[in-house]
Amino acid sequence: MARALYIHWPFCARKCPYCDFNSHVRESVDHDLWRRALLADMRHEAALAGGAPLESIFFGGGTPSLMPPALVEALLGEAEKLWGFAPDIEITLEGNPSSVEAAAYADLASAGVNRASLGLQSLEDEALRFLGRLHDAHEGMAALTVAQQHFRRVSFDLIYALPGQTTDQWGDQLSRALAFGTGHLSLYQLTIEPGTRFETDVRLGRLIPLDNEAAADLFEMTRELTVAAGLPAYEISNHARSGEQSRHNLAYWRYQDYAGIGPGAHGRRGGMATQRHRKPENWLDAVARAGHGVQEERALGRNEQIVEALLMGLRLAEGVDIAAMAQRFGRPQDAIMDWAAFRLHAGSGLVWREGDRIGVTPHGMPLLDALLDALVPGEMVTG
């Protein structure tokens, strides 16, 4: 039963060279058409994944801050009718920190948004140009100030481990970022994703990524500075004061059900995986034809669910309750975890266990994918 709703708005003013998200640039958008289609997709999903008040809603993209506030308000009003809202529901909207979008923050707050997540990405103009961003550092800071005036909670993103970036440069920038006083920061190392312009640049020798050792040094510095500022990492790349963690993202990482609507949106519903059509025009056609944008809906095998739950849960500083997981999925703990491998990596300081709860240490987090390969029994992955 879904208690979280994800709404995908696929449009951006420009495609960033590092971005592999489902985002698209269009000369114009028919907002009335999109309102009708998103409402239809939402009603379809609520009929299958309703039953409990929503605890979080997340507008992601793309650039949802480009949505007219009236459209956001219509979607929130329909979601409340279909599911009901928990008294302290978290409603997050992602946005770029341009002056045009910041001008709509008051109206977005009035529409019901109570948490903003801003894609600042850097506090340096040179880095922003490299990352293909449309705003400069001054505009970003101004937008952050406006957001803090209108939303109860504010988070912003920064990308680090850029080519040639030093510990002094990143330490200075992160210290400035922490001084702005937001209760949540998302701090991502630059990764070269398939299909992006940066991948092409690397292949052609036009871009040389920061080497792994230097990136690891920046990761350690990030952990140290955020802990000292009272915003420890609660997930690999996300840092928050106590009580200010993203409830929506925690639903993913704790492997709870969530509904996803809009182009390319994924969902989890009672052991089923759902995925919407990615291309906006294909999604619209599907909604017009079938009343929803679902492209694929399939039952997840028990082993696949366990692997997904481990993959998501071990990203968290809190780790996972292995006994609860065994009970939830009807598998013995020895079938879920290779304990010999676990003890080996625990001896190396990469994983920990406290009673029934297991997790990955800060030293192990950069190696999470490799650790999962080692810790999850092979028959679990292939079965």
Whole-number mean pLDDT of the chain? 94
Q: By mean pLDDT, which of 62-66, 190-194, 377-381 is the weakest?
A: 377-381
Q: What pLDDT is stored for residue 329 in this prediction?
A: 94
Pairing mode, if any, of strands 85-95 and 54-61? parallel
Q: What pLDDT is stored for residue 173 in this prediction?
A: 98
Q: Which residues pair with 187 in a beta bridge?
A: 158
Q: What pLDDT is stored for residue 2 in this prediction?
A: 72
The residue with tokens 């994944």 is 49
pLDDT-derived band at 99 (thresholds 50, 70, 90) equals confident
Domains of the chain with bracketed CATH: 4-253 (3.20.20.70), 302-382 (1.10.10.920)
Say which residue, 322 or 377, is predicted with more confidence.
Answer: 322
Q: What pLDDT is stored for residue 78 in this prediction?
A: 98
Find all residues with CB under 8 Å of 54, minimum gap 6, and list them.
Answer: 2, 3, 4, 5, 79, 80, 83, 84, 85, 86, 89
- Which helix (H) or strand (E) segment holds residue 172: the answer is helix 167-178
Average pLDDT over residues 365-373: 89
Indicate whether 51 pLDDT > 90: no
Tens of pLDDT, residues 247-302? 999 999 999 999 999 999 999 999 999 999 999 999 999 999 999 999 999 999 99
Say which residue, 376 or 132, is predicted with more confidence.
Answer: 132
Average pLDDT over residues 354-362: 96
Find all residues with CB under 8 Å of 113, minimum gap 6, and list them.
Answer: 59, 72, 91, 92, 93, 151
Indicate whether 383 pLDDT > 60: no
pLDDT-derived band at 377 (thresholds 50, 70, 90) equals confident
Share of the chain above pLDDT 90, in %: 90
Q: What sign for the dihedral angle of Cα 14, 160, 204, 21?
A: negative
Q: What pLDDT is stored for residue 257 in this prediction?
A: 95
pLDDT-derived band at 378 (thresholds 50, 70, 90) equals low
Q: What pLDDT is stored for residue 379 in this prediction?
A: 61
Indicate whether 101 pLDDT > 90: no
Tens of pLDDT, residues 123-177? 999 999 999 999 999 999 999 999 999 999 999 999 999 999 999 999 999 999 9
Share of the chain above pLDDT 70, in %: 98
Q: What pLDDT is stored for residue 380 in this prediction?
A: 64
